[in-house]
């Protein structure tokens, strides 16, 4: 039987032999590993990815994190790489060959779209961007050479929840690999493999590390795709630092409690934002009334702290003042740390549920929610005095 998520977070990846009895495994930094004999060296070369061989393939600290994530996701195995974007690029370059066709969701994270436009297309990969609302109709876009369907749910900046089970059912019939970026929900709130995903990607930089001080990416695969992706990572010499993996493990221990608090705070802020005249739409699928609320309820166990808002068009000129006067909300990219952030956002695609007003992305942190609301209220008040 699978252990429950909170127990995995607390107990996985804690080899007592490695830690000499201390609670946590240490950071094991290494390039060279020393072998005790000719035979053990030869043996380790034969057994490529199952033991500590050489720093570029990870050290026992890396493996502790990888095992922990694989168990949390309910996948076969996990590989750690140096950033979330490296996780996306190594999964896609591992799976795709020149002449293959990739179906990429149109609401994808911006740098992943750049990877497609500035790298994959030059490698001879054909790419079609599909509507995040497509569901089972994805079959109408399948070609003979379609190899991967890439999902991100909810979408970056615009927060469309995808019908991943329907997409995965369609893809399975054609042996097409379903890759999903699961950064927003983490395995704690979205069990990708239960919903038919074959390869799940995380910018662990965000909630898994949780403290805004590490770049880290994770790729978890089902069994058929592990070796292909793992080999690609080895061939390219991609590696995550053991120190960063250790910080990833440190973050994981509190992932559950942090996410529950991010969710509670974000839901309260989202509900308050709905009451504001300046706000035309709140993009947060956990909000009853959000166009994606039902789909979210069917697939997700919770919602994290990242949401979007669309302001009234009249507010376009006041956005800089709003952003500058909210003091608890930092102005910065990335998210998933313990602290709140606010940024203007400019999605590439037009979204049906939006009407062209200025957009902002908010990360709701672990501060007191009353203080956060007061800070935004102050921001709106300062901004509205600016004309």
Ligand X SMILES: *Cc1c(COP(=O)(O)O)cnc(C)c1O
Stretch that binds ligand X, among 115-123, 169-177, 203-211, 324-332 (CB under 6 A): 203-211
Interatomic CA distance for residues 336 and 211, integer angstroms: 7
Q: Is 130 a catalytic residue?
A: no
Q: Burial level of 35, CB count in 10 A (0-12/13-18/19+)?
A: middle
Torsions phi, psi of 384, nearest 5? -75, -20
Torsions phi, psi of 42, nearest 5? -60, -40
Q: Which of residues 344-373 bind ligand X (CB under 6 A)?
A: none
Closer residue to ligand X (CB): 217 or 242: 217
- Beta carbon of residue 321, minimum distance to ligand X (angstroms, whole number): 27
Q: Is 33 a catalytic residue?
A: no
Single out the catalytic residue among 109, 207, 225, 284: 109
Single out the catalytic residue among 45, 48, 56, 352: 56
- List, in order, residues 6 or more apart from 68 with CB less than 8 Å away: 8, 9, 12, 13, 249, 252
> Is residue 383 within 8 Å of residue 358, measured between CB atoms?
no
Q: Is 206 a catalytic residue?
A: yes
Q: Which of residues 34-73 bind ligand X (CB under 6 A)?
A: none
- Please name the helix (run of DSSP H) or strand (run of DSSP E) that holds residue 147, with its range, or none: strand 146-152
Stretch that binds ligand X, among 55-63, 79-87, 192-200, 282-290 (CB under 6 A): 79-87
Residue nearest to ligand X (CB): 84
Interatomic CA distance for residues 296 and 273, integer angstroms: 20
Block residue for tokens 């930089």? 205
- Beta carbon of residue 95, minimum distance to ligand X (angstroms, whole number): 17
- Beta carbon of residue 122, minimum distance to ligand X (angstroms, whole number): 21
- Residues contacting ligand X: total by CB under 6 A: 14
Q: Is 225 a catalytic residue?
A: no
205 near ligand X (CB under 6 A)? yes
First-last CA distance in the chain = 62
Query: Is the bond leading into 154 cis (omega within 30 degrees of zero)?
Result: yes
Closer residue to ligand X (CB): 90 or 205: 205
Count CB-CB contacts under 10 A for residue 99: 11
Task: From 221, 249, 288, select the one nearest 13 (Cα to Cα).
Answer: 249
Q: Note the Cα 357 to chain centre separation in Å.
A: 27
Closer residue to ligand X (CB): 200 or 261: 200
Stretch that binds ligand X, among 77-85, 163-171, 229-237, 255-263 (CB under 6 A): 77-85
Interatomic CA distance for residues 172 and 311, integer angstroms: 40
Stretch that binds ligand X, among 51-59, 64-72, 199-207, 313-321 (CB under 6 A): 199-207
- Beta carbon of residue 183, minimum distance to ligand X (angstroms, whole number): 4
Interatomic CA distance for residues 133 and 192, integer angstroms: 18
- Beta carbon of residue 107, minimum distance to ligand X (angstroms, whole number): 10
- Beta carbon of residue 273, minimum distance to ligand X (angstroms, whole number): 21
80 to 119: interface string for ligand X, x by CB under 6 A: ---xxx-----------------------x----------
334 near ligand X (CB under 6 A)? yes
How is residue 162 annotated by DSSP?
P
156 near ligand X (CB under 6 A)? yes
214 to 243: interface string for ligand X, x by CB under 6 A: -x-x--------------------------
- List, in order, residues 6 or more apart from 355 with CB less than 8 Å away: 280, 281, 310, 313
Q: Using the rule CB under 6 A, which residue among 183, 186, 200, 304 binds ligand X?
A: 183
> Is residue 183 within 8 Å of residue 84, measured between CB atoms?
yes
Block residue for tokens 């995965």? 168
Interatomic CA distance for residues 371 and 314, integer angstroms: 26
Single out the catalytic residue among 68, 133, 163, 181: 181
Closer residue to ligand X (CB): 209 or 383: 209
Q: Using the rule CB under 6 A, which residue among 177, 185, 203, 376 binds ligand X?
A: 203
- Beta carbon of residue 380, minimum distance to ligand X (angstroms, whole number): 26
Task: From 54, 88, 71, select the one nearest 234 (Cα to Cα).
Answer: 54
Count CB-CB contacts under 10 A for residue 220: 30
- Beta carbon of residue 162, minimum distance to ligand X (angstroms, whole number): 13
- Residues of the shown chain interacting with ligand X in the complex, contacts defined by CB under 6 A: 83-85, 109, 152, 156, 181, 183, 203, 205-206, 215, 217, 334
- The catalytic residue positions are 56, 109, 181, 206
């Amino acid at each position: 039987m699978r252990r429950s998520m909170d127990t995995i977070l607390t107990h996985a990846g804690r080899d007592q032999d490695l830690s000499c009895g201390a609670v946590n495994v240490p950071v094991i930094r290494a390039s060279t590993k020393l072998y005790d004999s000719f035979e053990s060296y030869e043996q380790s070369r034969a057994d490529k990815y199952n033991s500590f061989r050489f720093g570029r393939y990870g050290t026992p600290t890396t493996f502790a994190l990888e095992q922990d994530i694989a168990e949390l996701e309910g996948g076969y195995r996990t590989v750690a790489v140096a950033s979330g974007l490296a996780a996306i690029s190594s999964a896609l370059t591992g799976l795709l060959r020149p002449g293959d066709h990739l179906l990429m969701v149109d609401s994808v994270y911006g740098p992943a779209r750049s990877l497609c436009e500035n790298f994959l297309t030059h490698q001879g990969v054909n790419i079609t961007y599909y509507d995040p609302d497509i569901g089972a109709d994805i079959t109408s876009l399948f070609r003979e050479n379609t190899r991967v369907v890439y999902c991100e749910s909810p979408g970056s900046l615009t927060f469309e929840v995808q019908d991943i089970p329907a997409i995965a059912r369609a893809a399975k019939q054609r042996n097409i690999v379903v890759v999903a970026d699961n950064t927003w929900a983490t395995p704690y709130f979205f069990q990708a493999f239960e919903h038919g995903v074959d390869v799940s990607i995380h910018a662990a930089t965000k909630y898994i590390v949780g403290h805004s001080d590490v770049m880290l990416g994770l790729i978890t695969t089902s069994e058929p795709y592990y070796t292909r992706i793992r080999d690609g990572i080895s061939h390219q010499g991609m590696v995550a630092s053991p120190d960063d993996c250790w910080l990833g493990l440190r973050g994981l221990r509190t992932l559950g409690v942090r996410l529950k608090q991010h969710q509670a705070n974000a839901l309260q802020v989202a509900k308050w934002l709905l009451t504001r005249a300046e706000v035309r739409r709140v993009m947060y699928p956990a909000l009853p009334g959000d166009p994606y609320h039902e789909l979210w309820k069917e697939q997700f166990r919770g919602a994290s702290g990242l949401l979007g808002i669309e302001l009234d068009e009249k507010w376009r000129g006041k956005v800089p003042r709003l952003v500058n006067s909210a003091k608890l909300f930092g102005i910065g990219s990335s998210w998933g740390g313990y602290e709140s952030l606010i940024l203007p956002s400019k999605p590439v695609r037009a979204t049906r549920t939006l009407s062209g007003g200025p957009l902002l992305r908010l990360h709701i942190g672990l501060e007191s929610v009353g203080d956060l609301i007061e800070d935004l209220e102050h921001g709106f008040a300062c901004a509205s005095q600016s004309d």
